[in-house]
Structure formats: structure tokens, C-alpha cells
């Protein structure tokens, strides 16, 4: 009888521990799902913003090749602003608080699915690649795009458009009619080199499109796969 009582107590304790681990796994899975799902939405907006930025790099490079620089068009300055000033599309910082908690605390042990562990690892690798690539873009921004902008871009025109800082450049371009303000001009026009301007804009296009097509695509696939596995394993919606 004593043996039976001890054995039953052991079974009860095992079942309780198993239930606690199962509940903990479900809780972590839900938190991870919400974190990754939120980033999937942000990523779609970032991709859309990058496509606009890449189009502006393209149009800017075409314009400086052979169009008038003495009286630049409003569309030229729209593309100049989107490509060289509005950098919202460059920065993407995936949320990884729950992901890193799982990896660093050993909480992955609560997940019994090998596919889930594989998908978490793939997403973690994709995030590291994004961070590395974004850092390269920020370096290009700091040492190439921004110096070019500061030398040639008409910030007085932008200040009018943004109501002297009340609006962001992106919001101002969406909400305002640039033709209502004094015409923009290219500063230090006598030093403006068409080949240099075209080359730097095309380099910006190459970097942005490369990030979008390579590391963003890899991240999006890893993000999608993890969400699908979490839905399947824990019946999440």
C-alpha cells in the first residue's frame, strides 16, 4: 500500500509538472506569435516604402543625366527628398525580446517540436543578417548620401513644406502640394557633378533593392514559416 501511495504521488507530480510545462509552452508560443506577427506587418510597409525610395533613386539618376539643373522640376525635388532625405524606409528593427528570451534562458526546452526549434533558429539567423545589412546602409547614408544632401539639397524649401518641422518629410510630401511653395534650387550648382550624382543615386538603388530582395525576402520567409508552425502546434490565430 505504501508503495502504491508513493507511486501514485509520483504520477500526480509528474502530470502536474507536465501540465505546467505545457501551459508555459503555450504562453511563450502566444507571446512569440504576437511579436513575430507584428513584425510581419511592419515588414510589408517597409517593403512598400523601399519600392518608392528605389523608384526615386531611379528617377533622380535619370533627371541629373541630361535635364535642366538651373530650374529643377518639382518632381525632381520630390525624388531628391524621397531618395536622399526620407530614410524611414531604410531602418527596420525586428522585435526580438521574446525570441532572445527563449534562446538565452533555455526556455526552448518547453517546445517539443523539432520543426518549431528549426524555424526559430532560421528567424534568428535572418534577423542577424538584417542587422548587418542595415548597418552597411547606415554607413552609406552617413558617409555618402547625407554629405551629398547637405551640400546640394535646398533645406529651406523642405522647411516650408514641413512647416518648419511640424511634419516629417514623408508626411509633408503626402499631404502638401509642393508647387505652392517657392521653387527649390540646387545649392552650389557650379560644383554639382552630374556623373557623381547619378552614380551615388544608382548605388543607393543597388543597396536598397539588394536588401529588399535578399535579406528581407529571407526574413519574410522565416517569419512566415514560424507563424505557420506556431499556428499548427498551438492552434493560434
Burial class (CB in 10 A: 0-12, 13-18, 19+), 52: middle
How many residues are present in the chain? 237
Q: How does pLDDT run across 189-214, given as a tens digit for each residue?
A: 999 999 999 999 999 999 999 999 99
Residue for grid cell 499556428: 231
**Domain ranges for the chain:** 2-234
For 65-82, write each residue's pLDDT tens digit.
999 999 999 899 999 999
Cα torsion through 191, 193, 196, 199, rounded to 10: 140
pLDDT above 90 covers a percentage of the chain that reads 70
For residue 226, pLDDT beyond 90:
yes
Amino acid at each position: 500500500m505504501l508503495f502504491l501511495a508513493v507511486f501514485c504521488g509520483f504520477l500526480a507530480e509528474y502530470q502536474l509538472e507536465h501540465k505546467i510545462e505545457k501551459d508555459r509552452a503555450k504562453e511563450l508560443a502566444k507571446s512569440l506569435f504576437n511579436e513575430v506577427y507584428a513584425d510581419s506587418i511592419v515588414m510589408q510597409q517597409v517593403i512598400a516604402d523601399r519600392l518608392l525610395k528605389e523608384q526615386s533613386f531611379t528617377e533622380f539618376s535619370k533627371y541629373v543625366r541630361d535635364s535642366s539643373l538651373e530650374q529643377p522640376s518639382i518632381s525632381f525635388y520630390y525624388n531628391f527628398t524621397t531618395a536622399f532625405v526620407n530614410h524611414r524606409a531604410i531602418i527596420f528593427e525586428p522585435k526580438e525580446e521574446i525570441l532572445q528570451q527563449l534562446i538565452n534562458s533555455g526556455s526552448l526546452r518547453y517546445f517539443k517540436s523539432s520543426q518549431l526549434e528549426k524555424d526559430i533558429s532560421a528567424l534568428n539567423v535572418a534577423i542577424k543578417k538584417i542587422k548587418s545589412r542595415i548597418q552597411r546602409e547606415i554607413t552609406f547614408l552617413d558617409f555618402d548620401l547625407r554629405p551629398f544632401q547637405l551640400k546640394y539639397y535646398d533645406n529651406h524649401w523642405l522647411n516650408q513644406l514641413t512647416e518648419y518641422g511640424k511634419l516629417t518629410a514623408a508626411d509633408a510630401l503626402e499631404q502638401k502640394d509642393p508647387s505652392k511653395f517657392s521653387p527649390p534650387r540646387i545649392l552650389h550648382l557650379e560644383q554639382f557633378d552630374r556623373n557623381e550624382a547619378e552614380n551615388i543615386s544608382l548605388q543607393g538603388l543597388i543597396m536598397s533593392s539588394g536588401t529588399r530582395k535578399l535579406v528581407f525576402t529571407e526574413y519574410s520567409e522565416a517569419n512566415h514559416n514560424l507563424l505557420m508552425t506556431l499556428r499548427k502546434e498551438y492552434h493560434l490565430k
